[in-house]
């Protein structure tokens, strides 16, 4: 029997084994699941024990199992074929642990496999190419993995979805791992983007706390506010970035000017030998009550990162733990076309005020190589009606890049 046939047999057996668990879950929870949800105790552990008892594949020798999963992972490098890797992680606990050990992060392999991959930095060498579809009727935005709808078609993989919710003094974009559930109490909730009244400043909230090492640095530096910043913010929201658009007081023509401060990523991540924080698993909701987060209950004024950074730059203070700052790449004026132009390398075809490219904004004292300063970390642009491309790379994650791009969809009368 060929390896492909054997793999198909394993997948069929997994489907049969999971049928009982799926029926039970559908009775209690009708929300869709397009990913491997993190283990949250209780029912998940009982289901895993049931699968281990019923599945004939659960007792394979670890060496043989690791070899099988390595062959599956190496042969399927893109979706939808990569769902075979996810199927291997769905068999039982032992299969899940070995699969997690075999599958590398997007920074290492350039592939998105599990939901946690969307919270991990992208590859360093080449960007991950995605596109966003806007649904005006429902005020929803869907992020797909692929070049464009025309090229990917039905083979596109849904990564994230967002729903725009207007309020009296602000606008929220709730981001979810699925396209049908945007509730903040759901385990499909990934985070949100919130704007101020004018639509000039946006705050990105992550449902997962930042890496422990960064949180300790935040307490020491007292600049990187990655914990909760307001008692009114739900417990699963952690401030990880802010996006600001400059006011266009004179109403001059030209693209929007923006900059982004990513509090959860230190500037040292883009220095030679630097490493960006990389979460390896989702935190359980019960684990969020830690001493480092208890300080979030104390009322503290929101720090103005812009004024802080300017004050420090005047004193020539440079620290490797300063947050990463991104700025939009300045376009050039094309005399023949009579418009502002940026080189999107064929990924953007329609002129729009929403189009932008973000590069790192660094101080000379940080000794960041010139090629790193000129490297486009995130680019976003229009290719058709309600269709936009999004290409991101290290040190941003798909979630962070998607949230930054969502800020471009909100109305900004003071910036245009």
For the record, the structure tokens of 337 come out as: 């076309």
In whole angstroms, give the CA distance from residue 180 to residue 325.
33
Q: 141 and 97 in one domain?
A: no
Q: Is residue 226 part of a domain?
A: no
pTM: 0.78
Checking if the pLDDT of 30 tops 60, the result is no
304 pLDDT band, cuts 50/70/90, is very low
Q: 132 and 186 in one domain?
A: yes
Q: Is residue 353 part of a domain?
A: yes
Percent of the chain exceeding pLDDT 70 equals: 68
CATH number for the domain harbouring residue 392: 3.20.90.10
Q: 198 and 97 in one domain?
A: no
Q: 94 and 152 in one domain?
A: no
Q: 257 and 162 in one domain?
A: yes
Q: Is residue 225 part of a domain?
A: no
Could you tell me the residue range of the domain that residue 66 belongs to?
A: 1-8+57-103
For the record, the structure tokens of 70 come out as: 């390595």
pLDDT digits (tens, 9 = 90+) for 179-190: 999 998 888 999
Residue 379 three-state SS: strand
Mean pLDDT, the chain, whole residue set: 77
Q: 188 and 97 in one domain?
A: no
For the record, the structure tokens of 122 come out as: 């992208």
Q: What is the pLDDT of residue 90?
A: 85
Q: Is residue 315 part of a domain?
A: no
Checking if the pLDDT of 365 tops 90, the result is no
In whole angstroms, give the CA distance from residue 347 to residue 390.
9
Q: What is the pLDDT of residue 398?
A: 97
Q: 96 and 245 in one domain?
A: no
Number of folded domains that form the chain: 2
Q: What is the pLDDT of residue 198?
A: 85
Q: If you write DSSP's letter for every residue of 340-351 in order, what string do you get?
A: EE---TTS--B-
Is the Cβ–Cβ distance between 212 and 283 less than 8 Å? no
In whole angstroms, give the CA distance from residue 39 to residue 57.
21
Q: 88 and 134 in one domain?
A: no
Q: 205 and 66 in one domain?
A: no
Flag the least confident range among 158-162, 313-317, 374-378: 313-317
Q: Is residue 354 part of a domain?
A: yes
Q: Is residue 334 part of a domain?
A: yes
Which of 261, 204, 254, 246 is CA-nearest to residue 412?
A: 246
Q: Is residue 29 part of a domain?
A: no
For the record, the structure tokens of 187 come out as: 């385990």
Is the Cβ–Cβ distance between 262 and 121 less than 8 Å? no
Q: Is residue 40 part of a domain?
A: no
Q: 395 and 337 in one domain?
A: yes
Which of 173, 192, 168 is CA-nearest to residue 134?
A: 173
Q: 398 and 352 in one domain?
A: yes
Chain mean position to CA 67 = 30
pLDDT digits (tens, 9 = 90+) for 37-61: 444 444 445 555 554 555 677 778 8
Length of the chain: 416
What residue has token string 């991101």? 392
Beta strands in 280-386 (DSSP E): 323-328, 332-334, 339-341, 356-360, 378-384
CA-based max dimension of the chain: 73
φ, ψ (nearest 5 deg) of residue 293: -95, -10
Q: If you write DSSP's letter for every residue of 109-176 in order, what string do you get?
A: HS---SGGGGGSB--SSSPEEEEEEEETTTTEEEEEESS-HHHHGGG-EEEEEEEEEE-SS-EEEEEE
pLDDT digits (tens, 9 = 90+) for 125-173: 999 999 999 999 999 999 999 888 877 766 688 999 999 999 988 999 9
User: For residue 309, what are the CA distances in angstroms to 94, 203, 209, 238, 332?
Assistant: 48, 17, 23, 21, 27
Enclosing H/E stretch for 76: none
Mean pLDDT (whole number) for 7-15: 59
Q: 147 and 1 in one domain?
A: no
Mean pLDDT (whole number) for 186-198: 92
For the record, the structure tokens of 225 come out as: 């506010």
The contacts of residue 71 (CB under 8 Å, 6+ apart) are 3
Enclosing H/E stretch for 261: strand 258-266
214 pLDDT band, cuts 50/70/90, is low
Checking if the pLDDT of 326 tops 80, the result is yes
The two beta strands, 387-392 and 378-384, are: antiparallel
Which of 120, 129, 132 is CA-nearest to residue 395?
A: 120
**Which conformational region is residue 404 in: left (phi greater than 0), alpha (psi within -120 to 50 degrees), or beta?**
alpha
What residue has token string 């600001």? 244
Is the Cβ–Cβ distance between 224 and 323 less than 8 Å? yes
Checking if the pLDDT of 312 tops 80, the result is no
In whole angstroms, give the CA distance from residue 208 to residue 142.
21
CB atoms closer than 10 angstroms to residue 348: 21
């Amino acid at each position: 029997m060929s390896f492909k046939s054997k793999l198909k047999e394993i997948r069929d057996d997994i489907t049969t084994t999971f049928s009982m668990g799926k029926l039970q879950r559908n009775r209690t929870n009708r929300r869709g699941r397009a990913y491997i949800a993190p283990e949250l105790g209780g029912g998940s552990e009982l289901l895993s024990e049931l699968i281990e008892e019923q599945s004939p594949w659960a007792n394979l020798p670890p060496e043989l199992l690791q070899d099988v999963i390595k062959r599956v992972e190496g042969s399927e490098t893109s979706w939808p074929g990569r769902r075979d890797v996810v199927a291997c992680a769905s068999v039982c606990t032992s299969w899940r642990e070995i699969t997690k050990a075999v599958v590398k992060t997007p920074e290492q392999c350039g592939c998105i496999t599990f939901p946690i991959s969307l919270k991990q930095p992208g590859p360093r060498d080449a960007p991950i190419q995605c596109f966003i579809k806007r649904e005006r009727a429902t005020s929803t935005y869907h992020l797909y993995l692929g070049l464009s709808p025309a090229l990917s078609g039905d083979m596109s993989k849904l990564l994230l979805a967002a729903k725009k919710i207007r309020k009296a003094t602000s606008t929220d974009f709730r981001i979810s791992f699925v396209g049908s559930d945007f509730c903040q109490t759901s385990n499909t909730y990934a985070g949100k983007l919130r704007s101020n009244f004018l639509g000039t400043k946006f705050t990105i909230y992550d449902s997962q706390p930042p890496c422990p090492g960064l949180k300790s640095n935040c307490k020491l530096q007292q600049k990187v506010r990655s914990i909760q910043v307001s008692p009114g913010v739900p417990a699963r929201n952690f401030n990880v970035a802010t996006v600001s658009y400059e006011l266009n007081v004179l109403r001059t023509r030209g693209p929007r000017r923006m900059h982004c401060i990513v509090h959860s990523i230190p500037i040292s991540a883009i220095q030679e030998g630097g490493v960006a924080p990389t979460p390896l698993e989702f935190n359980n909701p019960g684990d969020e009550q830690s001493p480092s987060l208890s300080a979030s209950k104390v009322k503290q004024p929101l720090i103005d990162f812009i004024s802080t950074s300017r004050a420090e730059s005047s004193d020539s203070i440079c620290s490797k733990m300063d947050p990463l700052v991104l700025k939009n790449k300045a376009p050039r004026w094309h005399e023949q076309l009579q418009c502002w132009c940026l080189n999107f390398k064929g990924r953007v075809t329609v002129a729009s005020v929403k189009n932008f490219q973000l590069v790192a904004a660094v101080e000379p004292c940080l000794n960041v190589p010139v090629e790193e300063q000129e490297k486009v970390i995130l680019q976003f642009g229009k290719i058709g009606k309600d269709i936009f491309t999004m290409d991101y790379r290290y040190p941003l994650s798909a979630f962070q890049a998607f949230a930054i791009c969502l800020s471009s969809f909100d109305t900004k009368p003071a910036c245009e």
